[in-house]
Structure formats: C-alpha cells, structure tokens
Amino acid sequence: MSVPLCLGLMALASWLYLLMGRGLFWLVRERDEVSPPPPACWPSVVAVVPARDEADMIARSVGSLLGQDYPGSFRVILVDDGSSDGTARAARLEAEARGAATRLDILAGAPLPSGWTGKIWAQHQGIAVAAEAKPDYLLLTDADIHHAPDNLRALVARAEQGGLAMTSLMALLCCGNRAERFLIPAFVFFFQMLYPFAWVADRSARTAAAAGGCMLVRRNALEAAGGIAAIRGEIIDDCALGRALKRQGPVWLGLTRRARSLRPYNSVADIGRMIARSAYAQLGYSPLLLAGTLLGMGLAYLAPPLLALLVEGWAAWLGAAAWAAMAVAFQPMLRFYRVSPLWGLALPAIGAAYGLFTLQSAWQVWRGRGGMWKGRFQAMAGRA
C-alpha cells in the first residue's frame, strides 16, 4: 500500500471516528435553550467574581448579576485581585446606580501565595466570605461575562431538577471580526471534541469538564471535594473543578446565549495568546504528548486537503472525503455562532493555526513564561 493511500485511509478513519465515536459532540445538542420547571422553593445563591484590572468590563458584568430576575436570596462578592485601574470603584458605582449597593460586597484580595494561580486564590477568598452565610449554591463567574436577566433562574432550575453538583455554561464568545470568525467557533468545537458534553453529563462516564466563565456549584459538594483549594495550582482550573465535583455528584455542561463574553479579540495573535496560555498544560507538559498531538493534527487536518489537491487516484478521493467530513462536522458549531458555512472548508488552516499555538504554548513554558495572564506567569504552578 502506498504512503498517500495509507495516509488517506487513516485520515478518513479518524474523522469517521470523530463523527460517530465521541458522543456526537459535533451536533452541539447540549444547550440551555429550554429551561426546566422552577423548583418549589428557590435556594440561596452567592456569586463570587474574581477581577484583576477589569475596569472596562466590570460594570457591565457586575451590573448583569445585580439585574438578575431571581426569586431567591442572591448577592454578589467581587474579589479585587490587586487591580490598578479602578476596577472596584467601577463596580461600586454601578451597584449604587442600580440601587443595589447592599447586595454587592467588594473584597480586597490578599497577596498571591506560592503554589496558587491568581484566579483560584481570589475565588478562595470570596468563597470563604460567602460560606459564612452557608448559601445553597455558589455562582463562580468571571469579570468579563454578561448574564441575561434569566440566567441564574435557569441555572438553578436545572441544578435542582437534576440534583447536580455543578451546572456550567460555555459562555458565547465574541465572534464579530474576521480573526474571531476564523478561530473562535473552532475553539469551542475543539473543546467539545476533547470533552464531549454528552459524556460530561453521563454519570457512568469518566469524562468531566466545565467552562470557567459560568459555573453554578452546590456548596456542600464543593466542601466535600476539599474546597477550591483542591485545585489551587491548576491552569485549566474549570475542568479540574469539574473532575473534582463529578466525584461528588452529576455535572452538566452546555452551550448558551444567556451568558456571553464581553472580551473581544482584535487579532489572530490575541486569540493565539489566549490559547497558548493553557494548551501545553492540557498535554500535561509532556514533550511526548506534544509530538503525538502535532502529528495527529497534521494527519487529521493537513493530510486531507494535501491529498485531495496534490495526488491522484484513491488517495485523492480519500483525502477529499476526509476534508468533506470535517467540513460537515463543523457546520452545527458554525450555525450556532451564526457565521458562514464556508468556514468549514477552512478547518484545515484553522487546525494548523491551533497546532502552532500549541507549539507556542510549549515554548513559553520551556522559557519559564507559561500561563501568562494579567502580568503573571502561572504555568509552573500548574505543574506542582
């Protein structure tokens, strides 16, 4: 058997497996579009928002939380993690303008100790304050997330109906400019490929994950898991928390339009930095896994168009079939993000870009500059 024919068979086999063998992730069926019925009694919730230099977004984010149409007890704790841009003041002014200053507590974060990532340390401090009131749930959300008025109500209803230890939503990311349309739908597509949402919700499956922008956590489940300190050094903290909480009870993760990111990405380089922050951590900082991943991505994404365009015979047809399969698999995500279906044909180039970002991530860690966020290099803490 010739090398091109062998590559074509392997490439097509890989896409047939992805289409049929990973929980049908590509159909993007796990969404929060239909809300479960309301519970008989609405439980108490405290939102914990870590923020570091987010003055340009915090008013919209905290304002959306204070504007929740939630029938139960609900308050917000903002942990100002050493901001130098007036983040706390912007949040306070927004709360006062809404007449909701009594429902917002602003906590000045303590210096970051060794062995912790910045976000988890800020969350730890906020959770400690929230726990004094013993709320039923904690809403762990980021300072760049805007919540629709009914988001908390829908989250709690789903959690109560399913007895969930965690209910998490993949916030809708910005997808307005060309760089975002090129790379953002694929970011969510690849995340679902790694962590099929149907498997996350399956109580018998080992797969666990979460999306850190919006996580509703049952407080007693978090305490039973050892608290947020159990994942204090993790770079991919949301998935680590999902694993910890799935050991305590069922978890659920879905796509949403009720929570959306306010953070724009103005260029391919901006998105690349976001991906590189954690890509090598996903591989356990293993050079062997890095090499295998890059080879696998080359086979799955680059081999099909090269075979289809540069060779003849059965190898070309197999390459074209694999290329068509990946384009078809990408369509539901493209529809969800309301971008042109023609981007499906660009998935080989998108996959190549993600391979370069993964290599960039490894290079940054090797240089001791991995996990960069808000002036901190945190990847080495994730290896502890």
Q: Check which CATH number belongs to the domain holding 80 and give it.
A: 3.90.550.10
The whole-number average pLDDT for the span 263-280 is 93
Residue 238 to residues 44, 101, 178, 337: CA-CA distances in angstroms?
A: 22, 29, 28, 22
Q: Are residues 95 and 229 in the same domain?
A: yes
Q: Are residues 221 and 245 in the same domain?
A: yes
pLDDT of residue 4: 87
pLDDT of residue 384: 38
Per-position DSSP letters for 127-146, written without gaps between them: HHHHHTT--SEEEEE-TTEE
Domain boundary among 217, 245, 267: 267
Per residue in 129-167, pLDDT (tens digit) is 999 999 999 999 999 999 999 999 999 999 999 999 999
pLDDT of residue 367: 83
Count of CB atoms situated within 10 Å of the CB of 377: 15
Mean confidence (pLDDT) of the chain: 94
Q: Are residues 44 and 174 in the same domain?
A: yes
Number of domains in the chain: 2
Per residue in 235-256, pLDDT (tens digit) is 899 999 999 999 999 999 999 9
Residue 226 three-state SS: coil
176: tokens are 């307005």
User: Does residue 187 have a pLDDT over 70?
Assistant: yes
What range defines the domain where residue 310 resides? 3-25+270-382
Q: What CA–CA distance (Å, rounded) separates 301 from 319?
A: 10
Q: Are residues 106 and 187 in the same domain?
A: yes
Contact 361, 280 (CB under 8 A): yes
Q: What is the CA radius of gyration of the chain?
A: 22
Q: What CA–CA distance (Å, rounded) separates 243 from 64?
A: 29
Amino acid 73 reads S
pLDDT of residue 368: 80
What pLDDT band is residue 34 in, cutting at 50, 70 and 90?
confident
Q: Which residues of 233-251 are buried (b: 16+ CB within 10 A; e: fewer)?
A: bbbbbbbbbbbbbbebbbb
Q: Are residues 159 and 205 in the same domain?
A: yes
Q: Are residues 139 and 287 in the same domain?
A: no
Per-position DSSP letters for 5-45, written without gaps between them: HHHHHHHHHHHHHHHHSSTTGGG---B-SSPPPPPSSPPPE
Per residue in 71-111, pLDDT (tens digit) is 999 999 999 999 999 999 999 999 999 999 999 999 999 99
What pLDDT band is residue 382 in, cutting at 50, 70 and 90?
very low
pLDDT of residue 166: 98
Per residue in 322-381, pLDDT (tens digit) is 999 999 999 999 999 999 999 999 999 999 999 999 999 999 888 887 665 666 566 554
Q: Are residues 136 and 69 in the same domain?
A: yes
Q: Are residues 256 and 282 in the same domain?
A: no
Beta bridge partners of 167: 216, 252
First to last CA, the chain: 47
Domain boundary among 267, 300, 335: 267
Per-position DSSP letters for 156-198, written without gaps between them: HHHHHHHT-SEEEEEEEPP--SHHHHHHHHHHHHHHHHHS-HH
Q: Are residues 333 and 349 in the same domain?
A: yes
Domain boundary among 218, 239, 267: 267
pLDDT > 70 fraction of the chain, expressed in percent and rounded: 96
Q: Are residues 149 and 175 in the same domain?
A: yes
Per-position DSSP letters for 314-353, written without gaps between them: HHHHHHHHHHHHHHHHHHHHHHHTT--GGGGGGHHHHHHH
Q: Are residues 132 and 230 in the same domain?
A: yes
206: tokens are 């080992």
Q: Are residues 43 and 93 in the same domain?
A: yes
Q: What CA–CA distance (Å, rounded) separates 267 from 34?
A: 34
